[in-house]
Amino acid sequence: MAIIVQKFGGTSLADAGKIRRAAERVIKTVKSGFSVVVVASARGQQTDELIADALELNPNPPEREMDQLLSTGEQQSVSLFAMALDAAGYDAISFTGGQIQLVTDSVHTKARIKSIGAERIQKQLDEGKIVLVAGFQGIDENGNITTLGRGGSDTTAVALAAALGAKECEIYTDVDGIHTTDPRIFKDAVKMKQVSYDEMLEMASLGAGVMHPRAVEFGKKYGVKIHVRSSIEEKDGTIITHEVPQMEGVVVTGATVQKDMAKIDLVNVDNKPGNAAKIFASLATAKVIVGDIMQTEVSSEKANLSFLIGISDLNAAKNAIEQIKSEINCESIFIRDNIAEISVIGMGMRTHYGVAGKMFGALAKAEVNIDSITTSEIRISCVVNKNQAEKALQAVSVAFELDKPAEKRSRDS
């Protein structure tokens, strides 16, 4: 029997009524002839609440213990979900990540999946059961519980869909699909029928919280059809898929804002071979994930090097830099923790000119100052003051007509 993986996000499971509604959705899919694997997130704001509990006791909690704690949220969801299915007369069984041998590396709070033992799930499906798997968590080779990073249940779902050869991975959430930008910030953003893995990967990595970036990576690598859709309304959402020809006509597909960021500037570093390597090796040892990197030569002897990181990695990054500061002969370190990054993304940028000018023009008109700029083949990003982030996203969204479906925009948008 063909398998469908259905993932329900926290807001879609916030109370008993919502769990029942999600269970009905699963039952409907079972009735139409599919085997269903459910992946569930922690209910409502539970992950945030558990983090607050931890911080009240310890401002710098051990990461292993954070994973041990946070994984309980998802464990509660799947067992409650299984109980709701049982009450409706359906055979269901729930598992933690460890119980299905979802093995990760040992990088607590941002672990990466190494392998999944799909056999246990398959056996239960073959017995006619609905299988529920706690999202966001795994187990390392030493038996420690790990988590995959905030929003990581999406990745559990897509990885399971790949491991089980599922027909589709449905992501049920509190919006009706992927929009041109975050509809909570730009209310006129429009839902897209489809978006390519590459564009979605950029959007997710640059702040579109609707999908966990690693989930999109898995989807692309294993060709999993991902359908992001509403857990409230029964209508089609957005399909994340390989690039299709009609996508080429659109210059800018979407815009994003990434808020919880910091920028570190290393001023007047010795301009000699090996220094950049030393800096990033030290950051990698500290397990800091680095975003955009900018380096400029200021003289034949000196260079300035800047990079973006998530705010949660700031302390680790500061320590890593302190350790090699004298080795690279860095004159001073300048840190900004009040920034946000605004990006526009689109495959069409590969073949169109004028996108950068239009973006900078929109920001200028909105009186938003640009701190730094980075580009790739399919995106342009500007670092701005955090308190201007929403205004900046709105200005850029209007400029690129992200309030209209792609076919109704003027040709250069």
Interacting residues toward ligand ADP by CB under 6 A: 9-12, 41, 151, 173-175, 178-179, 181-184, 208-210, 254
* CB 92 to Mg ion: min, Å: 23
Sequence letter at residue 390:
E
Q: What share of the chain is helix, strand, coil (3-state, %, to 5)?
A: 40, 30, 35
d(CA 152, CA 8): 12
Binder to Mg ion among 98, 151, 177, 310 (CB under 5 A)?
Answer: 151
Cα 307 to Cα 259, 276, 279, 409, distances in angstroms: 15, 11, 11, 34
Cα 130 to Cα 5, 25, 33, 385, distances in angstroms: 10, 12, 12, 48
- The residue whose two tokens read 């960021």 is 261
* CB 125 to ligand ASP: min, Å: 23
Please say which residue, 152 or 346, places its beta carbon nearer to ligand ASP. Answer: 152
d(CA 28, CA 22): 10
Please say which residue, 175 or 264, places its beta carbon nearer to Mg ion. Answer: 175
Select the binding partner of residue 179 from Mg ion, ligand ASP, ligand ADP, none (C-beta < 5 to 8 A, by kind): ligand ADP
Task: Sketch the per residue contact string, 63 through 82, with ligand ASP: x for CB under 6 A, - otherwise.
Answer: ----------x---------
Binder to ligand ASP among 25, 108, 110, 150 (CB under 6 A)?
Answer: 150
152 binds ligand ASP (CB under 6 A): yes
10 binds ligand ASP (CB under 6 A): yes
Residue nearest to Mg ion (CB): 151
41 binds ligand ASP (CB under 6 A): yes
Select the binding partner of residue 306 from Mg ion, ligand ASP, ligand ADP, none (C-beta < 5 to 8 A, by kind): none
Structure tokens at 185: 């910030």
Quick one: which of 343, 367, 177 has its CA closest to 252? 343
Cβ proximity of 259 and 207 under 8 Å = yes
* CB 219 to ligand ADP: min, Å: 15
Site residues for ligand ASP, 157-216, by CB under 6 A, read: none
> Does residue 323 sit in helix, strand or coil?
helix
Binder to ligand ASP among 42, 133, 308, 340 (CB under 6 A)?
Answer: 42
Neighbours of 369 (CB within 10 A): 12
- How many DSSP H helices and E strands does the chain contain? 11, 18
Select the binding partner of residue 135 from ligand ASP, ligand ADP, Mg ion, none (C-beta < 5 to 8 A, by kind): ligand ASP
Pure H helices in 165-243: 197-205, 213-222
Please say which residue, 124 or 181, places its beta carbon nearer to ligand ADP. Answer: 181
Size, binding site for ligand ASP by CB under 6 A? 12
Residues 6+ apart with CB under 8 A from 413: 251, 252, 399, 400, 401
* CB 241 to ligand ASP: min, Å: 22
User: Residues, the chain, total?
Assistant: 413
Specify the pairing of strand 137-139 against strand 145-147. antiparallel
Quick one: which of 391, 397, 306, 301 has its CA closest to 358? 397
Select the binding partner of residue 47 from ligand ASP, ligand ADP, Mg ion, none (C-beta < 5 to 8 A, by kind): ligand ASP
Residues 6+ apart with CB under 8 A from 260: 310, 311, 312
Please say which residue, 94 or 181, places its beta carbon nearer to ligand ADP. Answer: 181
* CB 147 to ligand ASP: min, Å: 8
Select the binding partner of residue 343 from ligand ASP, Mg ion, ligand ADP, none (C-beta < 5 to 8 A, by kind): none
* Vertex 9: Cα angle to 3 and 11 (nearest 5): 145
* CB 337 to ligand ASP: min, Å: 21
Select the binding partner of residue 238 from ligand ASP, ligand ADP, Mg ion, none (C-beta < 5 to 8 A, by kind): none
Size, binding site for Mg ion by CB under 5 A? 2
Select the binding partner of residue 178 from ligand ASP, ligand ADP, Mg ion, none (C-beta < 5 to 8 A, by kind): ligand ADP
Stretch that binds ligand ASP, among 13-21, 41-49, 294-302, 327-335 (CB under 6 A): 41-49
Site residues for ligand ASP, 212-251, by CB under 6 A, read: none
Query: Would the CA dihedral through 275, 277, 283, 288 be positive or negative?
Result: positive
| Footprint of ligand ASP (CB under 6 A) | 9-10, 41-42, 47, 73, 135-136, 150-153
| Footprint of Mg ion (CB under 5 A) | 9, 151
